[in-house]
Chains A and B, each alone.
Chain A
């Protein structure tokens, strides 16, 4: 589903922040992406959701080579990947409803379809009462759920989440993790970046562990390395 072959990446002329990254994630799998702050988790996710280009190595998404893919191919691929950004990245001037509707509208869905699907999803994530609120009036947990709703409205094949439990209390974090598990159960390939070892211990899933720009696979059974 997501395959990296000896991928390296740098920002501008800087040193490589990721080196020799190779892995192959099966469809429907669930992985944590762990590592200390600055280890390169967000950068690795950016490579998957095609917002950055690798400086070397090959990337295949859904068996399609992405290195020299056309702009059109990238656009089509982005529509099949849901992303929950670290700082939500909701559009401030749009209501919760409109934010969540955005991917459907971009795709050119009908108004009817937009109304039905967005309502349904907002109920599912518990934001039915905040449909017409602007993001600035929502709590951190509500924003996070709105951003998750936006990420999954298109029923993506792949869902990436960058520290989704970082800014919410543990009760909310628990609910969000349940949400992700549920999405994974219906077949979504999940990669969740976190530097919070709690989750890794609680939900046994293999880890892509980053350290100083290099990656190591840790099988589900093992405990995550403690943060120094």
Chain B
């Protein structure tokens, strides 16, 4: 005694096949923006954390012996400052590695008047009066200066934030464009089936029944589009990951995907299906409301 299924729409409407792909492309762009946004956020957080408990002291002096002497003095001050976990003068090897991307591995560094850098790690949560510390260091090493990375970090974070904002607005625009596309398609689909809808309406079908038939189809369209989009995203991310494995470079940050990114991407087809379905439902019900 199963209740019968009401199937009154003809199968196969070509423009919905096209809609699969249009939605697929939109979902792809949305997915890429979401990935970019989340990854940027994570990277910024990494930078912030690693920059917060470190600072650099530079000793800039053209004469190497003066430079070494002041470095020793600065190290002495630093090592006796509470809250400093470690202070280490970078050696020539460190410096050439740091400069290699710009001047190459040429041994040129020994002849260049590069400043001496002292890498300072702070104890987590240590509250250090940087101005007092700098004054103290300058007392015994007059050519020293503290670089807290703050200016550099602020710029970078602002940049990351701007990029995230752009990614977010791309997502919003894509969602709006997708909904608009679905509204158009649902309307034209309804228009193409006008006679069928009118007859079924006059035979006593409720608005919900009629909307339900359309909604069911558009759910499928949205889901397929979402899967196409997700497939494209996976293809691109897979490609990026593959290349990052082969190109080991100091410029490239290590590509890792946060669980949040993966979960959101996995949900994308379902969310797209839902949005498509609800949009089609609303559109059809609105058009039906105009019928007596």
Spell out A's residues near B (CB within 8 Å). Answer: 49-53, 71-72, 74-76, 78-79, 83, 89, 91, 93-94, 101-112, 114, 150, 154
Contacts and interface: CB of A to CB of B under 8 A. Distances in A.
Interface of B: 1-6, 8, 10, 195-196, 199-200, 202-207, 209, 292
A89 B199 contact: yes
Contacts, number: 60
B209 A106 contact: yes
Nearest to A49: B202
Contacts of B195: 89
Given A51-B202, A52-B292, A111 B2 contact: yes
Nearest to A107: B204
B158 to A, nearest CB: 55
Contact of B292 (A51, A79, A94, A150): A51
Given A50-B292, A104-B4, A75 B206 contact: yes
A50 B198 CA distance: 12
Given A93-B10, A111-B1, 12 more contacts: A51-B202, A53-B292, A71-B207, A78-B204, A79-B203, A89-B199, A101-B4, A102-B203, A106-B203, A106-B204, A107-B204, A110-B2
B1 A110 contact: yes
A49 B195 CA distance: 16
Nearest to B206: A75
A106 B205 contact: yes
Contacts of A150: 203
Most chain B C-beta atoms within 10 Å of own C-beta, residue among A50, A103, A105: A105
Contacts of B205: 75, 106
A106 B3 contact: no
Contacts of B4: 101, 104-105, 108-111, 114
Contacts of A102: 8, 200, 203
A57 B3 CA distance: 40
A106 B209 CA distance: 8
Contacts of A106: 6, 200, 203-205, 209
A94 B203 CA distance: 15
Contacts of A108: 3-4
30 contacts: A50-B292, A51-B202, A51-B292, A52-B292, A71-B207, A74-B292, A75-B204, A75-B206, A76-B204, A78-B202, A78-B204, A79-B204, A89-B199, A91-B199, A93-B10, A101-B4, A102-B8, A103-B204, A105-B4, A105-B6, A106-B203, A107-B204, A110-B1, A110-B2, A110-B3, A111-B1, A111-B4, A114-B4, A150-B203, A154-B204
